[in-house]
Structure 1
Amino acid sequence: MSPALALPMRVVDARVENEQPCAGDTYAFTDYLSRISSTWRRQVGTATTVSFPAGVGGKGNQGVTAVVSSTGGALGYISASYIIAHGLNAAALQNAAGKFEYPNLKNIQNAAAPVKHVPANNEMHIVNLPKKYAQAYPLSTFTYCIVPKAAPQHAALASWIYYAMTGGQAFGAQLDFAPIPKVVLKAGIKSVRALQAG
């Protein structure tokens, strides 16, 4: 925020109306809001699609990026990679320790670092970790590939996912995708091998 900006200049906001069934950003955002606000938790909740109380819509990261970029004073939520790619400003969010942290590589790594065990279903939540993780960005999350077990070209798909998790990680840092913690990588590779086997 600009120190010279007298708030509120105007009331403008943006929200996602993501019709895709796997709206991970919406889930993470509403999970964070539900953890910090009992009113949000009661009235809106945590889900991949929700009925927002106000705002204009944009479909997915691209749609919200377009709305925020073309609307003066707009606020929205998008993946950190879209913030970087489009030169947008990011807000620091307050974590459970009361610290305001930005979505940068170090703070996202700090959110993922505490993971020491991956459950059998591979589902992990690192949104707004306990206050002892004071340097963690509270809206961090893992990215999942959800694929059918009987995909028509399962071997090729498994090879692509394997590359993304291993050699492909070399390209992640420039878009604020933190390296996958070893325990998470091991669980991911196990899932990929099951997909390869068909």
Structure 2
Amino acid sequence: MLSKKSKWVVLLVMALVMVLVVAGCNSGKGDAGKTQGSADNKQAQETKTVTLNGAGASFPYPLYSKWIAEYRKVAPHVTIDYQSIGSGGGIKGITEQTVDFAGSDAPMKDDQLAKAPGQIFHIPTVMGAVVITYNLEGVKTGLKLTPEVISDIFLGKIKKWNDKAISSLNPDLKLPDKDITVVHRSDGSGTTNIFTDYLSNVSKEWKEKVGKGTSVEWPVGIGAKGNEGVAGTVKQTPGGIGYVELAYAVQNQLPYAFIKNQAGKFVEPTLDTTTAAAAGSAANMPEDMRVSIVNAPGENSYPIAGYTYLLVYKDQKDKDKGTELVKFLWWAIHDGEKYAKDLLYAPLPDNVVKLAEARIKQINYQGEPLYK
């Protein structure tokens, strides 16, 4: 039997062991808490909320709206806002750095690029067709028009729908003795740039009197803002004629013309004929990807087509925004392309995707590439 003194020793030893055990448990909990806290902090950093603001071309707006909705599912911590204000507004915004990226169907000119505070990249996203749409009772899609007739209408030289220049091309149609009302863009517009680039290619008179650009002095007509505005005004104006991106004509159930191309064939604007227009130029695409594909050679080429671009700075000022912008751009030219056809845009040719990839990989923050 243990002595009284021995019992006290045993009790003290047991008490000391319990103290050590409890201390050890608390220490373990502290370490675990630190580890968990560190993990939580890391996760919070990795999912930091970022907002990207963009504005510009209305030409690709239906597709960009779809992209933004789909990308939200991929990256819920990134909020992207894109305002359809016209290419001119987009170029102004990116130059003044009031947006993180801009949309434009008109490649920036050398003098515009020189005014920017840093190097701007043109990232092509898709190709689209600019169609001639009209409002004539009983006349559906398929009115035939030549380059000469189109330029004369927009110059104000052909004033009536039953003018012989139009009726001779469409002997099966009963065209009305109705005034032609030209509807054009009132805002700076990449769609206007593509259309007037085409007119300048096919008409010497247009080139000399009006020229090409995002905004021109129109000889005749009424102005409307955005592709949305032109489509809406034509729809509400009997005898109206205007130019819009193909998707806007389809969405507004407006007919559109088949246009005689360089090969002498009347061509319907479709995905295939838009892609055909790009095929010839794709092999000779310049490194900066600023290119015109209007009046392209080829039997199946639709003559009024163009690329649309996202404009971004090579050197980003905000690392978090720059990182997420690069991720979105990469997603857009790969996963995003699958949404193009349903919205009547032509996806990028493979070699153009490669050129765009090379540009995206050069986007950096303080010299550090943001593509990982």
TM-score by length of 2: 0.49
Q: Which of 185, 188, 208 is equivalent to 1:16?
A: 185
Amino acid of the structure 2 residue aligned with 1:156: E
The 2-side partners of 1:31 and 1:186 are apart by: 26
The 2-side partners of 1:5 and 1:163 are apart by: 49
- Structure 2 CA distance for partners of 1:42 and 1:8, relative to 1, 3 Å: farther
Aligned residue runs from structure 1 range 138-177, under 5 A: 138-149=303-314, 150=316, 152=318, 153-177=321-345
Deviations 1:79-138 (A, max 9, x none): 1121222222111122111211121111011111221132122112111013xx010000
Q: Percent identity?
A: 31
Amino acid of the structure 2 residue aligned with 1:154: G
Residues 13 and 55 in structure 1, CA contact (< 8 A), matched pair in contact too: yes
The 1-side partners of 2:221 and 2:288 are apart by: 35
Residues 277 and 305 in structure 2, CA contact (< 8 A), matched pair in contact too: yes
Q: Which of 99, 103, 112 is equivalent to 2:269?
A: 103
What is the aligned-residue RMSD (CA, Å)?
1.7
| 2:175 corresponding residue in structure 1 | 6
Any gaps of 5 or more consecutive residues in structure 2? 1-138, 141-171
SS at match of 1:194: coil
| 1:92 corresponding residue in structure 2 | 258
Amino acid of the structure 2 residue aligned with 1:181: P
The 2-side partners of 1:75 and 1:65 are apart by: 9
- Structure 2 CA distance for partners of 1:29 and 1:8, relative to 1, 3 Å: farther
**Structure with the higher strand share, 1 or 2:** 2
The 2-side partners of 1:25 and 1:33 are apart by: 12
| 2:125 corresponding residue in structure 1 | none
The 2-side partners of 1:192 and 1:106 are apart by: 27
Residues 180 and 241 in structure 2, CA contact (< 8 A), matched pair in contact too: no
Residues 84 and 175 in structure 1, CA contact (< 8 A), matched pair in contact too: no
Aligned-pair CA distance for 1:42: 0.2
- Structure 2 CA distance for partners of 1:151 and 1:45, relative to 1, 3 Å: farther
State whether structure 2 residue 350 is matched by structure 1 residue 182. yes
- Structure 2 CA distance for partners of 1:159 and 1:5, relative to 1, 3 Å: farther
State whether structure 2 residue 325 is matched by structure 1 residue 192. no
Moved over 6 A (4+): none
Aligned-pair CA distance for 1:55: 0.4
- Structure 2 CA distance for partners of 1:166 and 1:61, relative to 1, 3 Å: same
The 1-side partners of 2:226 and 2:251 are apart by: 15
Residues 275 and 346 in structure 2, CA contact (< 8 A), matched pair in contact too: yes
State whether structure 2 residue 222 is matched by structure 1 residue 56. yes
Aligned-pair CA distance for 1:185: 0.8
Give the length in aligned residue pairs: 193
- Structure 2 CA distance for partners of 1:84 and 1:164, relative to 1, 3 Å: farther
The 2-side partners of 1:134 and 1:179 are apart by: 20
TM-score by length of 1: 0.90
Aligned-pair CA distance for 1:50: 0.5
